Amino acid sequence: MNPVLSVRRLEKRFGAVVAADALTLDVPAGQKISLIGANGAGKTTFVNMVTGYLKPDSGTILLDGIDIGKRSPRSAAQLGISRSFQIPQLFVELTAAENLTVAISGIGTRMSLRAPAEAQGRRDKAVELLERFGLADLADRPISELAGGVRKLIDIAMALVRRPRLLLLDEPTSGVSAEEKFSTMDRVIRAVAQDAATIVFVEHDMEIVSRYADRVVAFYQGRILADGVPAEVLNNQEVRRYVTGGAR
Amino acid sequence: MKMSQHPLVMIGLVAAVTLAGRALPTWTLSLATIAASNALIALGIVVLARTGNVSFGQGLFFAAGGYGVALIANAWGLTDAVAQVIVGAACGGLLGLVIGPLIARYSGIFFGMLTLALSMVFYGALVKSTALGGSDGFNVGRPSLFGMSFTDPREADFMLYAVSVIVTGFAGIAATILFRSEFGLASLAVRENNLRVEYLGLSANRIISINFLIAAIFAGASGAFALMAQRHIDPQFAYWTTSGEFVFVAVLAGNQSVAAVFVASMALELVRSFSNLYLPNTWQLVLGVFLLGVILFLPHGIGSLWIRDRRKRRISATAPLTAERGAAP
């Protein structure tokens, strides 16, 4: 099966810091891949390059065979790559439903200057998406009044609006309490499953990684240290030394 | 949709305000004409401000509209008021169409300064242009309406008042529809986080450009009104203090309500007129205190007087729901 995402010899430097050192990775459709690594290992740089926010110095990024290495975030989104953020990037003065409505507006070829934003079809779709995450009752609350965990889920819901081919989640459970992290991740996985998107998620919590990932890719100083099933990667000596610090 | 925002209700309101002009004293007519004209350009600034960008150089489009109309009126004898407004809007719009996409990539203070710089470049060019009358400018004839000339000053004032109220009123209706549209919502999203907007597959630059174009069209039409009211044009139309005055109205109004722009513009004209009448040497001080008062007590503008209440009502309707999810961090 052809991979959804295929990355070949991807390189990125920030001065003397090597953030991506000849990264090569294939992401098959339907997999849930977790990227792990210490801070500064290059995980978020990888996500930023795949989503068009950063341009690689060299190498190729193919989405379904299309080179997206030089594309903008907008173009990458239109081709089927969506992402959520470590710190939720929401429109805090708008309500949860309005945030989703803005995301829904991005689907069509052109936005209407006349059609009401709260037209029933659009509103229903926004509420349906919130419902997937169990947040429909918060549809009319301004984001500024919502807790961090709820914001995280809405951020992910917005990324799902376009029914992406590839969904990148940057630390989906960071800022969520220990008691809520599994229920939060359960909601995310359940909601994403409806669209059968391929998921790549950056995560520091090894319990989350071993429970939800089909495959784990460990980063260290811009390189891939190990790549395989969770049990194998998390028990790898180098991963234990440089990434997890003997955690688990 | 609120009843007061239904287009038919708003059209009725515009008709009522227009007919009320028949009962107003003459001095009020010219004051209201200026207020409506200023409200139109300030409305454009508010439209643009919803994307998080403030133009300090709307005088550029104001002057483009005014000069465009004046040149065509003198060259081809175009005196019809409605045609002049259309020509003014087209001149402002054409310029906005060229400048908008170039300037949309900037934001914040850079955006504001660029618009100011462009208007001052235009001002400089106008001052140096002898063909356009240099710093003295030039005069135009009295406007007509659908072939009718108005020799009675009261009738001429009413005609101009009626045209300005109707045009500005319809611009207000269009802006109300725009603010409620999905494009209007996306404009607010651009103001808050334009990178996130891009990640959703939308073009923040395009959204800003379209809002900029709308603001330029409104400014051009406003320039045509100012020309008709004064029957004279000069480079002062493009000067930074002229632009600043429009921003003043927009700040007073806030960016939450279209009606607030009209209220703010009228309030400013009244404060200016009366302070000029009773305190001729310190009227600027009165204006400054008035603006300070609005900023201190209504930081989101005059419109927040009624928009804030609406939001509070909506929130209180769903208040119990957040308690179980915890407060905001």
Q: Residue A90 in contact with residue B196, Cβ under 8 Å?
A: yes
What is residue A166's predicted lDDT score, i.e. its pLDDT?
92
- The band of A158, judged by pLDDT with boundaries at 50, 70 and 90, is very high
Q: Which residue has the higher pLDDT, A195 or B315?
A: A195
Residue B324's pLDDT band, with cuts at 50, 70 and 90, is: very low
Mean predicted confidence (pLDDT) in A149-165 = 90
Task: Report the C-alpha gap between A65 and B190 in whole angstroms.
Answer: 32
Read off the pLDDT of each residue in A98-127 and give the average, rounded to a whole number. Answer: 82
Q: Residues B55-93: pLDDT tens digits?
A: 999 999 999 999 999 999 988 988 899 999 999 999 999
Average pLDDT, chain B: 85
* Residue B203 CA: distances (Å) to CA of A23, A157, B53, B194: 30, 20, 16, 9
A27 within 8 A of A194, measured Cβ to Cβ: no
Q: Please answer whether residues B172 and B261 qualify as being in contact, where contact means their C-beta atoms are separated by less than 8 angstroms.
A: yes
Find the range with the poorest average confidence among B18-32, B265-279, B301-315: B301-315
Least confident range of A78-82, A126-130, B296-300: B296-300
Q: Which of B210-214, B276-280, B287-291, B310-314 has the lowest mean pLDDT?
A: B310-314
Residue B1's pLDDT is what? 60
Q: What is the pLDDT of residue B329?
A: 32
Is it the case that residue B20 has pLDDT exceeding 90?
Answer: no
Which positions 107-146 of A are in contact with B (Cβ < 8 Å)? Answer: 107, 111-119, 122, 137-138, 140-142, 144-146
Average pLDDT over residues A154-174: 91
Whether the per-residue pLDDT at B328 is higher than 80: the answer is no
Here the tokens at position A129 are 């998406």
**pLDDT given for residue B325 in this prediction:** 37
Q: Which runs of E-coded beta strand occur in A3-147?
A: 3-14, 17-28, 32-37, 58-63, 66-67, 81-84
Give burial (CB, 10 Å; 0-12/13-18/19+) of B1: exposed
Q: Which runs of consecutive H residues, i.e. helices, occur in chain B?
A: 7-20, 26-49, 59-76, 81-103, 108-128, 153-180, 182-192, 194-199, 204-230, 240-253, 258-278, 283-297, 304-317, 320-323
What are phi and psi for residue A23, nearest 5 degrees?
-70, 130
Inter-chain residue contact B193 with A89, CB threshold 8 Å: yes
pLDDT tens digits along B148-165:
887 888 888 898 899 999
Confidence (pLDDT) at A109: 64
DSSP letters, B63-80, are: HHHHHHHHHHHHHH---B
The pLDDT value given to residue B321: 35
Q: Given a cut of 60, is residue A189 above it in pLDDT? A: yes
**Percent of chain B having pLDDT more than 90?**
40
Closest CA to B39 of B134, B206, B164, B174: B164
pLDDT for B3 equals 66
**Integer Cα distance of B149 and A75 in angstroms:** 56
**Which of A:155-184 have CB within 8 Å of B?**
158, 161-162, 175
Would you state the structure tokens that stand for residue B57, as one six-digit string? 């150089």
> Choosing among B50, B177, B193, B200, which should be mutated to test the A contact, i.e. which has the most A CBs within 10 A?
B200
pLDDT tens for each residue of B285-322: 888 888 888 888 888 888 888 776 555 545 444 443 33
- pTM comes to 0.87
| Nearby residues of A4 by Cβ (< 8 Å), 6 or more positions away | A27, A28, A29, A63, A64, A165, A166, A198
φ, ψ at A172 (rounded to 5°): -65, -20
What is chain A's mean pLDDT, rounded?
88
Q: Which of B55, B175, B63 is nearest to B103 (CA)?
A: B55
Check residue B327 and give its pLDDT.
33
Best CA proximity match to B91, nearest among B68, B108, B121: B68
Which of B201, B322, B326 is closest, CB to CB, to A74? Answer: B201
What is the pLDDT at residue B320? 38
Let me know if A65 is exposed, middle or buried by CB neighbors in 10 A (0-12, 13-18, 19+): exposed
Q: Name residue, tokens 């179980």.
A: B324
Q: Which helix (DSSP H) or strand (DSSP E) does residue B233 occupy?
A: strand B232-233
Q: Which residues of B touch A (CB under 8 A)?
A: 1, 177-178, 180-186, 188-189, 192-193, 195-203, 207, 210, 314-315, 317-318, 321-322, 325-329
pLDDT at B143 over 80: yes
Contacting residues of B for A162, CB less than 8 Å apart? 200-201
Q: Is the pLDDT of residue B256 over 90?
A: no
How long a stretch of residues is chain A?
248
